[in-house]
Structure 1
Amino acid sequence: MVVIQALVDGILIGGVYAVVSIGLTLVFGVMGIVNFAQAEFLMLGMFVGYLAWAWLGLDPLIGSVIAFAVVFALGCVVQHTLIRRVLRAPPVAQIFLTVGLLIVIENAALLGFGSQFRSVTTPYQTSALRLGDLFISVPYLAAFLMSVVSGLALWLFMNRSWYGRAMRATAQDGMAASLMGIDADRMRRIAFGLGVGLTAFGGAVILPYFTVHPTVGAQFVVLMFTVVVLGGLGSVAGAIVGGQAVGIIQSLSAMAFPVQLQNLVLFLVFITVLALRPQGLVGGAR
């Protein structure tokens, strides 16, 4: 029963890992750029959700929608003014730009909010549902369900809407998409906004059980890259599989190892997958 409880917890956590990582793999899939500042947009989403709770009295699950909208708009501006200028530049220029963006966002947050930790209070914060001998944390379950809804919304957008099909066409061949009348620059701008917006959304929904501070991105950046590389960089399905894998591995390994070594098994599995299947669990060979 302890193992089943750990599996349930891992699945709930993995769903959130998936949605915060889908944005990273979406940006890479459409634009071909690895955004090292992705976790800082998660931090911004957490702060927007926190301010919506502190100033407007909104539950973080509702504030997550505002966090998505605000960071989506910010992402579109960042892509138009900065990212698009290095799309055809050498990879090292892209790395320097996104790492520089990471430093700027983090230090701007430190100047604006200070270094103190902040948290929200909700009526269900310490609640749990009991199913026989299993206990399901309500905040974890709520965050998981919101992540599932956002993932389904993204799937519908990418597969059923004109913008989604145009975005996938741009990812496959930007020049051909332009010749067919698609504004490739606009599609890349929307893709970047969606990517960072989804990550911000995921940051806001975990506020009931996670504190926010300007350097919180450092706690997620390695996990996000682990998820997308484990599943297959550029694959949305891979991010979902990778997120579930990371959540379950973390939860099960916590049963056998102390907190300080919780990620030991995760990175051993990660290294093994890279050695045996470099393209990831879902990604195809190139």
Structure 2
Amino acid sequence: MTSLDILAAAVLNGLMSGAVYALIAVGLTLVYGVLHIINFAHGAILSAAMFAAYLAFQAGVDPYVAMVPLALIFFGLGYGLQRLVIGPASHGDDRNILLITLGLSIVIENLLLAVFNSDTRTVDVAYGFSTLDLGFTFLALPRAAAFGVSCLVAVLLWILLAQTDTGKAIRAVAKEKLGASLAGIDVAHIYAVTFGLGAACLAIAACLLLPTYYVHPRVGNAYVLVAFTIVVLGGMGSIPGAIAGGLFVGVVESLSGLMFGESLGQLGIFVIFILVLLIRPTGLFGAKA
């Protein structure tokens, strides 16, 4: 295998990982774009979704089969959390929302620790070590499936936001909350729908991660740290920015791991992150307020 083949393989694997990063970041940036707050419970919800996928597997349901039911369940959970807990408890103050989501994160993580302890768990699926032979490299089948599903979800989300009445209402609330309310849009409902969509994205990402990754009560924190970096790189509230940023970060991580070793794979991500903040603080696709 030539050095060019190794480089191409690293880029390809980076794109596979970056697609899942992008899916997690889309949920985070969607909530920010509409509610204008950072959801500190994002990582804990991802951990809960991975445990839900794990329990489904223990009950005999493949993670890919459980994807749609869990997405619907977590949409409902996200909707309920925003409508029944976060919204009423915040009393319309964004600072309160930040504190509430932080509190929810602590509660969810500790509930997971109480129920599942701190043990690390994995699943053994038949296709876990299956590969696709591309001639110059082998591509892990679960990563290829994750890439395809992530792209499909991104397209469906774009259709929802661009072509449906709910999507138009979400964009209206994101642009001008008071104006949308005066036009007859139920802002509280749209807030809850947006939070639910973010949670559904996490449920799908959890099912895509489970065949190749471990489950732990705090596993979501590492992914959300990368997702937050992606959101800032792409521009706060920009869904195209989150998708492009996720793919870019995946490639940078893969190339950094190739050059500096697997343990330093994320070094390049945060170097790029600092450079972008210095050169273009609004991110690649962000706009000035």
On whether the aligned pair clears a TM of 0.5, the verdict is yes
Counterpart position of 1:160? 163
State whether structure 2 residue 23 is matched by structure 1 residue 24.
no
Correspondent of 1:3 among 7, 11, 29:
7
Counterpart position of 1:201? 204
State whether structure 2 residue 72 is matched by structure 1 residue 69.
yes
How far apart in 2 are the matches of 1:176 and 1:87?
Answer: 20
Deviation at 1:63, TM superposition (A): 1.2
Contact 1:228 1:238 in 2 (8 A): yes
Counterpart position of 1:173? 176
Unpaired runs of 5+ residues, structure 1, are none
For 1:213-232, list aligned pairs within 5 A: 213-232=216-235
Deviation at 1:273, TM superposition (A): 0.3
Tell me the TM-score normalised to structure 2 length: 0.95
Contact 1:61 1:146 in 2 (8 A): no
Runs of 4+ in 1 over 3 A off after TM superposition: none
Contact 1:22 1:195 in 2 (8 A): yes
Deviation at 1:90, TM superposition (A): 5.0
For 1:1-286, list aligned pairs within 5 A: 1-55=5-59, 57-85=60-88, 86=90, 88-89=92-93, 91=95, 93-286=96-289
How far apart in 2 are the matches of 1:87 and 1:120?
Answer: 42
Deviation at 1:66, TM superposition (A): 2.1
How far apart in 2 are the matches of 1:63 and 1:229?
Answer: 31
The CA deviation string for residues 58-80 of structure 1, in whole angstroms up to 9 with x for no partner, is 22112122221121111111101
Q: In structure 1, give the amino acid aligned to 2:31.
A: V
Deviation at 1:2, TM superposition (A): 0.4
Q: Percentage identity across aligned positions?
A: 40
What is the aligned residue count?
A: 284
How far apart in 1 are the matches of 2:62 and 2:147?
Answer: 16
How far apart in 2 are the matches of 1:138 and 1:283?
Answer: 34
Moved more, 144-153 or 269-278: 144-153
Moved more, 258-267 or 186-195: 258-267
Contact 2:238 2:285 in 1 (8 A): yes
